[in-house]
Structure 1
Amino acid sequence: MASRPEKLLLLDTASLYFRAFYGVPDKVRAADGTSVNAVRGLLDMIAKLVSTYGPTRVVACWDDDWRPAWRVELLPSYKAHRVVEAVSTGPDREETPDPLLAQIPLIREALAVLGIPVVGAAEHEADDVIGTLATAADVPVDIVTGDRDLFQLIDDDHHVRIVYTARGMSNLELVDDAVVVSKYGIHAAQYADFAVLRGDPSDGLPGVAGIGEKSAAALLTAHGDLDGILTAAEAGTGGTPAQRAKILAAADYLAVAPTVVRVVRDLDLDVPDDELHPLDDHRLAAANALAEKWNLGSSMTRALAALPH
């Protein structure tokens, strides 16, 4: 492992364990009947990712707050459709099936025995943790996610790319700036502004009414960024008269949405040792004991085999 070039693998953990839960049949359970499909699926994902991309460091980035109040205050519709019926005595809870909720503590245990640190930040999402770690990294970074919002972090100059899981783990896609250009007609650095303009129903992001992907890409190509588009619209020179009217009508939304959409890159994070250390007897015994207790079987075996020994 020491001979491999340094590389940091950042896991958008919730994105992966949701995919595992829905993608792995709930046939094999623990002795007490607990579902373990998300745990087993995540272990298989880690095995494939480590074997395929050869990282020397791995961090499981965590949603300490999946819907931060400061984002909701700016844009109340943000992820609103994912909220379980509001409980006045506590924070919003994301709609998560009970069999998956029950597996989350076990997922954290499994990551611990593999030596993969879990890193979150109060009042921030995993995206913000990923953005901070990727921006600060002094080695190449692969970000594993099914969330297009993180395309904004792609940076060819600093060797930051996305391992995109949207088509499944058997069809992983490496996304760099050229891929973003080919898909959307804009550069990765423009992706946050592109998402603001186009909108994203999956995040409760309304976008600018009447501005779709092609219009958003054309405006960004012509004016560089959202500030340039607004300046041109106010001057009566940006896009068609209809587009200018739509942009100006959405001024209140455009004043707040960029802060909601842009990933935070400067959190003060306490990151434990993220190096993939060779397995010792103690960790191997702990991993095998966890696997036996929870019937993780071949999934844990594959994850362990992918780690340095």
Structure 2
Amino acid sequence: MRNKIMLVDGMALLFRAFYATSVHGNFMRRSDSTPTNGIHGLVKHLLYASQNFKPTHTIICWDMGSETFRTEAYENYKANRGAPPEELIPQFDLAKEVVAQLNIPNIGYKGYEADDCIGTLAAAYKEAHDVLVLTGDTDLLQLVDETVHVALLRKGLGNYEVYDPATFVEAKGINASQLVDVKALMGDSSDNYPGVKGIGEKTAYKLIQEHGTVDTLLENVDSLTKGQRTKILECLDDLHMSRELAAIYCEVPIECSLEKAVHEVDEERIEAVIRAMEWKRGEQFLQLL
């Protein structure tokens, strides 16, 4: 029997939930003044996704600090990002406590990002099981294959854009595995790595559609326009580095037995979380079970 394993990008859900309410100054606080708005939204996202996708197993992956092998390789990686809001900081550890209360494993490994942990677990499970990745991060689309689908959160709760190999090709004009090559060319302003200066998203997709990979593109660099050839040859180091930074690393030394990840979010566990977080109107969570 093939199980359906939902791998959740905890950081993506927590940040999205936090900013959805904090923009209105609604932080929701326990009696000890600890903000809980991000956690409140995270639990809602989990329950909506459970209702929609009906996983047999659920695992949540987290970043474990800002220092990773990528920042060691390129000191400016994500250097354009400011510190998280002070109201969000205490919610990082508290969110993991809540997830543990729901009997969902928390997975992370120092030196790697949540994306790498998700990629590693997806690679470990996908031969024998079906995997669904729940995230708001388009970088994880590179994991899409026949047994790994990616559900991107869209505006509102319970709204998703689900990608399998066919829908990815239809939307992007390339295979999911080629997304790394596109990112190598165009760079990423959010993660702050350069790509090839002067090559934008449209051109990057066009070049990979025509040549398949960065390696094949470089083998045929003489066939490019003079402008494209000049830009690429002047930025070869940045091109190769950006490809390394863009690629999800799928060999993090982690594992999670499926026995520990059986999806058992029930009324008793939800009620315990509601009490611990001191949330009013807890019935809205129970209605999603």
TM-score, structure 2 as length reference: 0.89
- Over residues 181-235 of structure 1, what are the superposed CA-to-partner deviations in whole Å (9 max), with x where a residue is unaligned? 33332211100111111111111022211212221122112211011111211xx
Deviation at 1:269, TM superposition (A): 0.7
Q: Distance between the aligned counterparts of 1:167 and 1:244, measured in 2?
A: 40
Q: Percent identity?
A: 34
Q: Distance between the aligned counterparts of 2:173 and 2:282, measured in 1?
A: 40
Q: Which moved more, 1:252-261 or 1:290-299?
A: 290-299
Q: Distance between the aligned counterparts of 1:303 and 1:188, measured in 2?
A: 37
Summarize the alignment of residues 150-299 of structure 1 with structure 2, pairs less than 5 Å apart: 150-156=140-146, 159-233=147-221, 236-237=222-223, 239-271=224-256, 273-277=260-264, 279=266, 284=268, 288-298=271-281
Change (3 A) 1:45 1:299: farther
| Partner residue, 2:72 | 73
Q: Which runs of 5+ in 2 are unaligned?
A: none
Q: Distance between the aligned counterparts of 2:9 and 2:154, measured in 1?
A: 13
| Partner residue, 1:12 | 9
Structure 2 residue identity aligned to 1:263:
I
Structure 1 residue identity aligned to 2:18:
F
Change (3 A) 1:43 1:148: same
Q: Distance between the aligned counterparts of 1:22 and 1:32, measured in 2?
A: 22
Q: Is the 8 A contact 2:102 2:265 kept in 1?
A: no
RMSD: 2.2
Change (3 A) 1:297 1:108: farther
- Over residues 127-180 of structure 1, what are the superposed CA-to-partner deviations in whole Å (9 max), with x where a residue is unaligned? 000000111112111111111111110012xx1111101434343111223333
TM-score, structure 1 as length reference: 0.84
Tell me the SS of whatever aligns to 1:9. strand
Deviation at 1:299, TM superposition (A): 5.1
Q: Distance between the aligned counterparts of 2:57 and 2:31, measured in 1?
A: 33
Tell me the SS of whatever aligns to 1:173. strand
Structure 2 residue identity aligned to 1:48:
Y
Q: Which runs of 5+ in 1 are unaligned?
A: 84-94
Q: Distance between the aligned counterparts of 1:51 and 1:127, measured in 2?
A: 24
Q: Distance between the aligned counterparts of 1:303 and 1:176, measured in 2?
A: 31
Q: Distance between the aligned counterparts of 1:148 and 1:163, measured in 2?
A: 10
| Partner residue, 1:130 | 118
Deviation at 1:67, TM superposition (A): 4.0
Tell me the SS of whatever aligns to 2:8. strand
**Alignment partner for residue 302 of structure 1, among 275, 285, 288?**
285
Change (3 A) 1:299 1:220: farther
Deviation at 1:63, TM superposition (A): 0.6
